[in-house]
Structure 1
């Protein structure tokens, strides 16, 4: 019997990779086929993504599949959220794919709230205010480059754009669409009244489709370039939605952290909580697989340690930095969700300044800097766990960490210590695994989300970090 392979193209803010997967003896087997760098570039005065180069990398990785003789049955692409491209009537790109860390949205909150009060906007969408959300980016286009919206016939989120280039078909995938802050959480569709209110053209918003939707097959041109044909099936195209799909739990109420450049901490709800108290706690209700809402908080995450490493210890590995941090006695804390850490010119200097302004000990060495960041993150995780328990009325027995941060053992130890809960860490490749799971369910190899999560729990190592406060 021929092995049925699935291809996940998982593109993050700093790198992308092509992962192949298949089922073997009931377990998911992973194989990395290709890896490539990514990053924002400066162009025309803005931070932008080089989407042309990224698409070439997507094709290069697909060719590698053909070279090793492992032709995927289906494939799907996931990336970060909120960013998009505009296309004209000839499907040519208008302008650049501006990145969410660009400063063009700095005053756009005020502009949006001229059309709809902030409280009403949250009540309509349930989405946490992040000044880089698509709603504010579109307002920046409208205010700064109005001609672009006048010419535009389509808006596609970054993974939707790549799927269009592969198949020639334009749709908006649900989980990523919700991060625009323009989707109604009850109808699960575009809030056309809100879109009209803001003066955005209706025509640019395409039909929303769910993860698992079969978009089509590769165009003839793409087949010729990569050497094969396959189905293109939508995964949860927002990488966090894919990662949460891979949380290996059968508990009805689970508390998770999708830990990477960002830390997304939350739980799953069957209905969005768009209440004022939820808004005051800065919780968001992003769409998930099977219409489960990812009720979570965006936390700055490993971006801080990644930046400090790049600036202060580029030749050190994260494991080495963790080991140094674990030996430090410094107990200074910073507010990891302060906007000052979103895109500072120098993260090392920013962390030092924050400690100095708070009258706390200023970290000097890479070990001390890392200790301050890790302790601050763990403390913030614990605070967020308490908030979510109060908001949901549920006492969560554990914290499940998925994604690259599952490898950050020292941070996981600290999280267990500060939160007073056992921490279960893994799988580290959660985003790719969630991407595969959606494809495997669509293909009938896995029955549903529950079966997929059970399979994931059996397939990957889960490390347990025990809380000193644990009484089990």
Structure 2
């Protein structure tokens, strides 16, 4: 039996979980939970990474002696170290506006087709490659674009001063152990990673002016990162294990599937909707549909598309100053169906701000009467998300030629009963909801295997999740024709 600590950092909160893993045992205990989110300074949104580090240490100390520590977080964001290993600046938040307009500059150097053929990634404005282009001042013909915000420090900005780039979990692992490296599942989200060669892309790095030496040696989930430094105040010599450090990679490990004919939604601030495949799908059809091929544990591919997720509802609650989610969902369940619909992936919903006002503006721009109550607004958001899931799942099955019999909803959104039922209705599939702490479970399972627990493959890990965690099943209800009509309203005819 292994006793391990999972540091699991989401885009709105972080937590340290104590996991106990045995032949028929898989338990999680929350040690501490702490706030995470953007901090605006001087017109830039940053992550408070030192707060995260201190909160992580507090939780690890409270957890007591453990056999191992693993760290996972959201993707795409990073810290830059100088040649002496010092952090040059707080990591910038992916919702910051510094990448506005940068995609076109990068695509002037490398075509969208070639970019997809190499990386297999969905085009998102905050992908690491675009953040790095903004970091250096752009990739115009002179190396610096005058149209970009003047946030650079010296020639080439911070990028010109940097010696190493570390994704967020790798940065925290470095501060624990002094060991530098890049875990593969998170590296695969940067749009600088060759998904077929399973290596950093020298071609893309050269095209966009990213020094190849900036990108550390790659690690596999299960590799030893290093052992804890005494000055952390933790038990010196405790192993730190590379897990699926992209939180979605860890979440997918914990999908309690019994066979391969499943799809998943990792549901939280973002919704990651997709399939698990053996090989990437790099066709023109996949690129046109904006699907991503991200690395998973044991060499699997997470073929998915990002959908905006519960971020929209979270921002509505913040503006309303209403944290009674249960009451909002109860009222929304009684609101009229399909009264108002929005495209949850519309760019106006990406940045923090007055989301209820943006919903109203979006509705007026699309010829709809805005929702007249909070219940109607919540119903609008959840039905629109369910329709986005429906479209994404149908396209994924067609493009990958992989039929699906069941849809697993994992993560915090699996507790949202109304959204789970609407998702079952929209997709016409049974939904199995749970586990809630999927990313932490995947984290501890990979650690336990690396430390000697007999969990030979993903099937064994998932069987342990199924036998130890309660799942809730939602059967499709309602009329499929109603969802067909709603989808046609929102996205146009198929």
TM-score bracket, normalised by the shorter chain, equals: over 0.9
Matched, 1:423 2:435: no
Q: Say which of 150, 155, 165 aligns to 2:165.
A: 155
Q: Say which of 296, 310, 322 aligns to 2:329.
A: 322
Contact 2:21 2:445 in 1 (8 A): no
148 and 320 in structure 1: CA distance in 2 versus 1, 3 angstrom threshold: same
Matched, 1:23 2:31: no
Report how many residues are paired.
462
Q: Which moved more, 1:153-162 or 1:360-369?
A: 360-369
Residue number in structure 2 paired with 1:408? 416
Name the TM-score, length of structure 2 as normaliser: 0.91
**Unmatched tracts of structure 1, length 5 or more:** none
**SS of corresponding position for 1:243:** helix
Hey, what's the Cα distance between the residues in 1 that align with 2:48 and 2:244? 22
Contact 1:260 1:405 in 2 (8 A): yes
Matched, 1:142 2:140: no
Hey, what's the Cα distance between the residues in 2 that align with 1:95 and 1:424? 42
**SS of corresponding position for 2:189:** helix
Residue number in structure 2 paired with 1:188? 198
> By how many angstroms is 1:469 displaced?
7.5
Matched, 1:110 2:100: no
Q: Which moved more, 1:160-169 or 1:268-277?
A: 268-277
> By how many angstroms is 1:393 displaced?
2.1
> By how many angstroms is 1:205 displaced?
0.6
Residue number in structure 1 paired with 2:461? 452
**Unmatched tracts of structure 2, length 5 or more:** 138-150, 480-494
Residue number in structure 2 paired with 1:47? 45
Hey, what's the Cα distance between the residues in 2 that align with 1:266 and 1:453? 17
Residue number in structure 2 paired with 1:176? 186
Q: RMSD of the TM alignment (CA)?
A: 1.5
> By how many angstroms is 1:468 displaced?
3.0
> By how many angstroms is 1:317 displaced?
2.1
Hey, what's the Cα distance between the residues in 2 that align with 1:450 and 1:309? 39
**SS of corresponding position for 2:67:** strand
Contact 1:60 1:226 in 2 (8 A): no
Residue number in structure 2 paired with 1:10? 8
Q: Which moved more, 1:300-309 or 1:316-325?
A: 316-325
Contact 2:421 2:475 in 1 (8 A): yes
Residue number in structure 1 paired with 2:222? 212
Alignment of 1:227-238 (within 5 A): 227=235, 229-238=237-246
Name the TM-score, length of structure 1 as normaliser: 0.95
> By how many angstroms is 1:165 displaced?
0.3
**SS of corresponding position for 2:165:** strand
Hey, what's the Cα distance between the residues in 2 that align with 1:316 and 1:190? 43
Hey, what's the Cα distance between the residues in 1 that align with 2:164 and 2:236? 29
Hey, what's the Cα distance between the residues in 2 that align with 1:205 and 1:95? 17
Matched, 1:250 2:258: yes
Contact 1:253 1:268 in 2 (8 A): no
Alignment of 1:216-295 (within 5 A): 216-222=226-232, 225-227=233-235, 229-295=237-303
> By how many angstroms is 1:60 displaced?
0.8
Residue number in structure 2 paired with 1:200? 210
Q: Deviations over 1:420-460 (max 9, x none)?
A: 11111010110100101110111221222110010011111
> By how many angstroms is 1:161 displaced?
0.3
**SS of corresponding position for 2:450:** helix
Hey, what's the Cα distance between the residues in 2 that align with 1:54 and 1:171? 20
